[in-house]
Structure 1
Amino acid sequence: MDHQEFTPTVREARCARLAGCRKTRFGSVRGWLATVAAVALLSACGGDPDGGTVAGDAPDVTADKRVAATGTPYGGSVPAVPATIEAENFDRGGEGVGYHDTTSGNAGGQYRTAESVDIFASDDPAGGGYVVKNFASGEWLAYTIQVPTSGNYDIELRASTNPSFPNTAYRVEVDGVDKTGAVVLPTTNTSGWNNYQWVGKKTIQFAAGTRVLKIFADQQYFNLNSIRLSAAPAAPAPEATPTGAKPLFKSGFEGSTALGSLLMYGNGAWQDIVGTDTQTGFAWPPKIWGGTGSRMQLIAGDALSLTASTLTGYMYNQLQTVTGRSGASTRALYSHIQHSIDGSLVNWNSTQNDFVIFPGTNQGDLYVGYWLKFQPDLLQRMTAGSWAGRVVSDWKTAGDYRIIFNVYGDGANKRLYWHLQGDNVANGGLPKQIFWQLTNTTIPVPVGRWFRVEMFVHRSGGADGRVWVAVDGQKLFDRYGPNLGVNGLSWNRIMPFLNYSSGQQLPAYQWIDDFELWDGFPAHASAH
């Protein structure tokens, strides 16, 4: 590919350089306009050949809504998927058409020098020629693509992130329609920016034809080398529902079910649930696959000595008599976090209140079901900032695999949505790796009322591995494929439900009722 879009005149080159000097975002402070001559030169500069803005133009804050305006593919030909697209080859058409940038000028001074996109020589060891840096919140790049066949396609980014900017996220639009919601990217560097990885894989349904793909920076910053689009693996046909699934445990917290005293340790406490549920006949705790049982775990989040009185001053569990899902009185497990240990009303330090099952090693399929009621002001508390996450369920091995089911809060759009992810964040000391992640923005997140949560997991290193999630009888996710870690370790902590949030305004509280575990799909499970 010819990497020289046009041959600039001396005047044009000087304009581009000065435009770049206006940038003051992280990583691109290149100087300032210090003389009257510089200002005069900038004011004399005209528009760039592709219609981008010049230094001093006000950014078009409505550009991301102009879905009708389309550019032309850079290089002249439309890439057909599957394809890997270099980030710097965004569409022609300039600001508001081929891209949207919040500041004028190309801070990197490379490749397409008259565009207001920060293009630098690649610092990715894998190459790529150029990378786009300083991708700030709200900015986007557009790419015209050709989809030969309707179907599901995987998209992922060759990107670099830095721990100074947590919760960096992108999202994808196709023909002006949001297809992913915010996709949080893992941190690829412990310092610096030159460790690039393929991250943020999402599966998107495309209709055949010419499409305009937009990559948005939903939460700054990340560096972008390329975008990869590939056909998603076809899910194997679901097997017939096995008959004879057996209950492993069932309880609605009735009968003699009770909460034990706090057993303090360092920065937290264990709390047992004991007794027998006379309505189901099962005794607490559940001991599945020959395991040792289960406990509530209240974690302060900081390594500091606690007492029962200081802990319960801001975090506790109760068995309450409440109005159940049918309108009748029922007993339910109530979990409450008033504030973080440091008194903060936004939790960033891992303060959490978890229900943990410790299973044995003779493991098989597992179905989990229960009824959940979130606090009625969850939407307001999870959208007060730019982003928040609330964990619904968390399954971990002894160090190499995790399945985590979340509710995310999107502050910009004032909405809640579902997220499911497989990764290796299981306290095993491995470099963080996200294997897959899925988002559902269609089925709403209920707040202030009871709703049913169901999960089923079949573990495998092959295509028959399955993670299935449903809410209120509606399937949220049904992911087939490998779900074993690098060491093939068994589950050693299953948290079917927990009260754990990041970025949410506190307090955080919820109720749980009619909890059940089966060794397969029970007859009353939602359609699967």
Structure 2
Amino acid sequence: MVLFLLFLSYMSADISADRVIAPSSTVMLLFRSNFGAGVSLTSPTGYYTNGAWQYLTGTDQETGYSWPVKALGANLSGIQLITSDPIDSSTIGKYITNQIRQVTGPKGNLVNELFQNVKIKGDLGQAGSQAPLVINRPWTIGDVKDLYITYWFKYEIDFPSKLTREVPGAGWRQMFAFKTGGYLNDWRGDYRVSVTILKGLDGQLYWQTKGDNVANGPWPRVDYWTIDNHTVAVPVDRWSKFEVYWHRSSGSDGRFWVAVNGEVIADYHGPNMGDYNLPITRIFPNNAYSGGYATVESHSTGLEIWNGFPCGMGVSCYEK
């Protein structure tokens, strides 16, 4: 009955809102895309010395939502192509390619996935090239206080072997992040939360969720909190559901919650604002970004964005 009432609330809501919706008892779906028919990637554009941009565009005929994401006041959504060497239109394809393609999906049926592939990463142990899926929003329109994001992802069967502890800095792969911005009215920020996969000294993969100030600001690094999870397995060679929720606050009611396949990997309660209380300007739902061996691949589908937990406060939607 509760889910039915939430569904009715969602159906009657104005889901075309292009602003942050104040937290309330009604949970609203802000965006959904399966990268279905009607959605496409532009050719890389906006070249700069070590990168370019590739935008998602069009209306998803399966969901009715259009790219770029208008919710949250976003002014850009697509993939940033960041390369370890200078590139141009004739060489970018050697480093990074992105495509929407049809595959067998999480439920065994044919779906479209966003496939990101970093082919030349750079030196082992260095961050090098990356291809983040990013939602950008101006720092002048306020913060994103409450948000829930979910999608399906899959790592290749050889993924564990691409991370190594034999070379310093080569044992990590980023999954998710958000960053703030607006310091001195530019893109630099004071707070970041990231979800990363690490390889331990025992050769096993584990999850690390962290709040720090690594948001391109001019300050020495500060790690505010870290949660390591060695219990929930890092899934490989199968579709898995990623879920993340946050409530931003400078007080004890702040929260950052993450689950994979319905199992909670982190549930941090406490302050999650930076020293300058800057707003979230960059959300990276998924990123082909690693210190390990190339290639760095990302498979994702079924992206949803809500303004709160859609299945009940603190409840995973894995089985829904």
Check whether the contact 1:245–1:522 (CA below 8 A) recurs between aligned residues: yes
2:313 and 2:166 map into 1 onto residues whose CA distance is: 36
Check whether the contact 1:383–1:415 (CA below 8 A) recurs between aligned residues: no
Cα distance, 1:368 vs structure 2: 0.6
Check whether the contact 2:121–2:296 (CA below 8 A) recurs between aligned residues: no
Matched, 1:256 2:45: no
Tell me the SS of whatever aligns to 2:67.
Answer: coil
What is the match of residue 133 of structure 2?
355
1:349 and 1:442 map into 2 onto residues whose CA distance is: 27
Cα distance, 1:470 vs structure 2: 0.4
1:376 and 1:315 map into 2 onto residues whose CA distance is: 20
Cα distance, 1:525 vs structure 2: 8.3
1:282 and 1:348 map into 2 onto residues whose CA distance is: 37
Query: AA paired with 2:159?
Result: L
Matched, 1:375 2:156: yes
For 1:281, which of 57, 64, 71 is the aligned residue?
64
For 1:302-313, what aligned pairs fall within 5 Å after superposition?
302=85, 304=86, 306-313=87-94
Asked which structure has the greater CA Rg, the reply is 1
1:275-309 CA-to-partner distances (Å, cap 9, x unmatched) read: 1111111000112322213121010134x3x1123
What is the match of residue 243 of structure 2?
454
What is the match of residue 20 of structure 2?
none
1:287 and 1:385 map into 2 onto residues whose CA distance is: 44
Cα distance, 1:494 vs structure 2: 0.8
Check whether the contact 2:258–2:265 (CA below 8 A) recurs between aligned residues: yes
What is the match of residue 471 of structure 1?
260
Tell me the SS of whatever aligns to 1:497.
Answer: strand
For 1:122-161, what aligned pairs fall within 5 Å after superposition?
none
1:444 and 1:403 map into 2 onto residues whose CA distance is: 21
Tell me the SS of whatever aligns to 1:380.
Answer: helix
**Comparing both chains, which one has the higher relative contact order based on Cα–Cα distances under 8 Å and sequence gaps of 6 or more?**
2
Cα distance, 1:315 vs structure 2: 1.1
1:453 and 1:447 map into 2 onto residues whose CA distance is: 13
For 1:434-445, what aligned pairs fall within 5 Å after superposition?
434-445=223-234
Distance 1:409 1:288, change over 3 A: same
Tell me the SS of whatever aligns to 1:254.
Answer: coil
Cα distance, 1:442 vs structure 2: 0.5
Could you list the runs of 5+ residues in structure 1 that have no partner in the other structure?
1-240
What is the match of residue 485 of structure 1?
274
Structure 1: which 4+ aligned runs deviate by more than 4 Å? Answer: none
Check whether the contact 1:467–1:478 (CA below 8 A) recurs between aligned residues: yes
Tell me the SS of whatever aligns to 1:501.
Answer: coil
Check whether the contact 2:119–2:296 (CA below 8 A) recurs between aligned residues: yes
Tell me the SS of whatever aligns to 2:35.
Answer: coil
Matched, 1:499 2:288: yes
2:110 and 2:121 map into 1 onto residues whose CA distance is: 32
What is the match of residue 296 of structure 2?
508
Cα distance, 1:524 vs structure 2: 7.6
1:298 and 1:463 map into 2 onto residues whose CA distance is: 37
What is the match of residue 76 of structure 2?
293
Cα distance, 1:408 vs structure 2: 0.4
1:472 and 1:349 map into 2 onto residues whose CA distance is: 28
Query: AA paired with 2:50?
Result: N
Percent identity, aligned pairs only, is 36
Matched, 1:396 2:185: no
How big is the alpha-carbon RMSD for the aligned residues of Structure 1 and Structure 2? 1.8
2:221 and 2:314 map into 1 onto residues whose CA distance is: 34
2:166 and 2:30 map into 1 onto residues whose CA distance is: 41
For 1:186-335, what aligned pairs fall within 5 Å after superposition?
243-263=25-45, 264-302=47-85, 304=86, 306-335=87-116
What is the match of residue 197 of structure 2?
407
Check whether the contact 2:209–2:228 (CA below 8 A) recurs between aligned residues: yes
1:491 and 1:402 map into 2 onto residues whose CA distance is: 9
2:107 and 2:296 map into 1 onto residues whose CA distance is: 24
1:349 and 1:418 map into 2 onto residues whose CA distance is: 18
Check whether the contact 1:347–1:506 (CA below 8 A) recurs between aligned residues: no
Check whether the contact 2:101–2:114 (CA below 8 A) recurs between aligned residues: yes
Cα distance, 1:355 vs structure 2: 0.9
Check whether the contact 2:127–2:289 (CA below 8 A) recurs between aligned residues: no
Check whether the contact 2:250–2:272 (CA below 8 A) recurs between aligned residues: yes
Check whether the contact 1:257–1:275 (CA below 8 A) recurs between aligned residues: yes
Query: AA paired with 2:31?
Result: F
What is the match of residue 186 of structure 2?
none
Check whether the contact 1:339–1:347 (CA below 8 A) recurs between aligned residues: no
Query: TM-score, length-normalised on structure 2?
Result: 0.84
1:242-295 CA-to-partner distances (Å, cap 9, x unmatched) read: 642111110000021001010122210100011111111100011232221312
